[in-house]
């Protein structure tokens, strides 16, 4: 079996690629960087530029399914032009793929596209399931909503479409954990805002396994990509400090300061999303990492290579 992955060179994509290889699944990937192109039998790179519509049509050779993760990094100041790039990069990527699939003969039967739990309205109490119809009023929720709608268009081409609403991904290779570790390491880690906001985290290995589970079982629809036991920001900070052998002693960082320093982007750290993993578990998926402490111990005590 061969899959085409967009964003394969990123944090999540590289872990999904590794898992595909462990399972004997070959990977074609699309990259916007010519210097990331490789040509191995199980890892073949193809160039594309979603903003101009350029794509190497050979990327579909032998491909039965597409995993779509590509998009400009959201962790940058949200200027007007950055917002445009963050949104357009995701929509353009899917549109370019849609056009190629509609013009060329292919054997692709499935699309699994990334989304984000930031789509759910921020709440300290409400548990969010995949059938939630309300969306948050933040910029990231707008991006996730439009991203999911662009993925849904692939049903017109008779593809099975699944979308994974990804939570806070914990990885030893970067992302949110690297940002959280730094202040804790220097003994200045502190909860953000009230610290009561929910953080629906997931170990990167389980997230990669969810994508493969959806692929192997031909699942369709929306699935939350979060672990079964979300924690508050305060608990996350304290557990991280505990696993690192550090203490948290500073008062919480006030929400007002975060809003001044981060602008609208503060919604990323102050927003509260309590999200359920029940639906994916009901399809037979079992998590390796249910306990946050075990996930952190695994990631922080692992050699990064």
Ligand X SMILES: NC(=O)c1ccc[n+]([C@@H]2O[C@H](COP(=O)([O-])OP(=O)(O)OC[C@H]3O[C@@H](n4cnc5c(N)ncnc54)[C@H](OP(=O)(O)O)[C@@H]3O)[C@@H](O)[C@H]2O)c1
Task: Please report, as ranges, the residues that interact with ligand X according to CB under 6 A.
Answer: 7, 9-13, 31-33, 36, 50, 69-74, 89, 93, 114, 116, 166, 168-169, 175-176
Q: Rounded to the nearest whole angstrom, what is the least distance from the CB of residue 30 to ligand X in the complex?
A: 7
Please identify, using beta-carbon distances, which residue of 18 and 187 lies nearer to ligand X. 18
Q: Rounded to the nearest whole angstrom, what is the least distance from the CB of residue 239 to ligand X in the complex?
A: 18
Nearest alpha-carbon partner for 38 in 21, 19, 50: 21
**Alpha carbons 80 and 18: distance in angstroms, whole number:** 36
* 54 beta partners: 49
Please identify, using beta-carbon distances, which residue of 25 and 168 lies nearer to ligand X. 168
Please identify, using beta-carbon distances, which residue of 40 and 247 lies nearer to ligand X. 40
**Alpha carbons 283 and 213: distance in angstroms, whole number:** 9
**Alpha carbons 170 and 75: distance in angstroms, whole number:** 16
Give the residue nearest to ligand X (CB).
10
Please identify, using beta-carbon distances, which residue of 25 and 140 lies nearer to ligand X. 140
Please identify, using beta-carbon distances, which residue of 177 and 241 lies nearer to ligand X. 177
Q: Rounded to the nearest whole angstrom, what is the least distance from the CB of residue 274 to ligand X in the complex?
A: 16
Q: Rounded to the nearest whole angstrom, what is the least distance from the CB of residue 176 to ligand X in the complex?
A: 6
Q: Rounded to the nearest whole angstrom, what is the least distance from the CB of residue 9 to ligand X in the complex?
A: 4
Whether 130 and 140 have beta carbons less than 8 Å apart is answered as no
Phi-psi region of 252 (alpha: psi -120 to 50; beta: other; left: phi over 0): beta
Please identify, using beta-carbon distances, which residue of 75 and 249 lies nearer to ligand X. 75
Burial 258-292 (b: 16+ CB within 10 A, else e): beeeeeebbbbbbbbbbbbbebbeeeebebebeeb
Residues 6+ apart with CB under 8 A from 144: 115, 116, 118, 119, 135, 165
Q: Rounded to the nearest whole angstrom, what is the least distance from the CB of residue 131 to ligand X in the complex?
A: 20
**DSSP state, 283?**
T
Residue 202: is it exposed, middle or buried by C-beta count within 10 angstroms (0-12/13-18/19+)?
A: buried
């Amino acid at each position: 079996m061969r899959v085409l992955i967009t964003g394969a060179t990123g944090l999540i994509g590289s872990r999904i690629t590794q898992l595909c290889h462990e399972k004997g699944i070959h990977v074609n990937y699309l990259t916007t960087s010519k210097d990331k192109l490789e040509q191995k039998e199980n890892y073949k790179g193809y160039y594309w530029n979603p903003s101009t519509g350029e794509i190497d049509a050979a990327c579909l050779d032998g491909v039965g399914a597409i995993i779509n993760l590509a998009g400009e990094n959201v962790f940058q100041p949200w200027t007007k032009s950055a917002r445009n790039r963050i949104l357009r990069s995701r929509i353009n990527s899917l549109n370019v793929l849609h056009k190629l699939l509609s013009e060329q003969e292919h054997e692709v039967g499935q699309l699994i596209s990334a989304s984000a739990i930031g789509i759910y309205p921020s709440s300290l109490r409400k548990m969010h399931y995949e059938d939630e119809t309300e969306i948050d009023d933040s910029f990231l929720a707008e991006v996730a909503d439009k991203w999911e709608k662009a993925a849904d268009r692939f049903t017109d081409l008779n593809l099975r479409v699944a979308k994974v609403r990804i939570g806070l991904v914990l990885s030893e290779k970067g992302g949110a954990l690297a940002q959280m570790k730094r202040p804790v390491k220097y003994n200045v880690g502190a909860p953000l805002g009230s610290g009561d906001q929910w953080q629906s985290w997931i170990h990167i290995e389980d997230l990669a396994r969810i994508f493969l589970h959806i692929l192997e079982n031909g699942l369709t629809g929306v699935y939350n990509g979060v672990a079964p036991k979300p924690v508050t920001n305060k608990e996350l900070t304290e557990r991280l400090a505990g696993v690192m052998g550090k203490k948290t002693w500073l008062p919480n960082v006030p929400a007002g300061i975060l809003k001044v320093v981060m602008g609208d982007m503060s919604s990323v750290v102050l927003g509260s999303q309590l999200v359920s993993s029940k639906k994916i578990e009901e399809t037979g998926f079992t998590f390796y990492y249910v306990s946050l402490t075990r996930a952190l111990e695994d990631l922080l005590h692992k050699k990064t290579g």
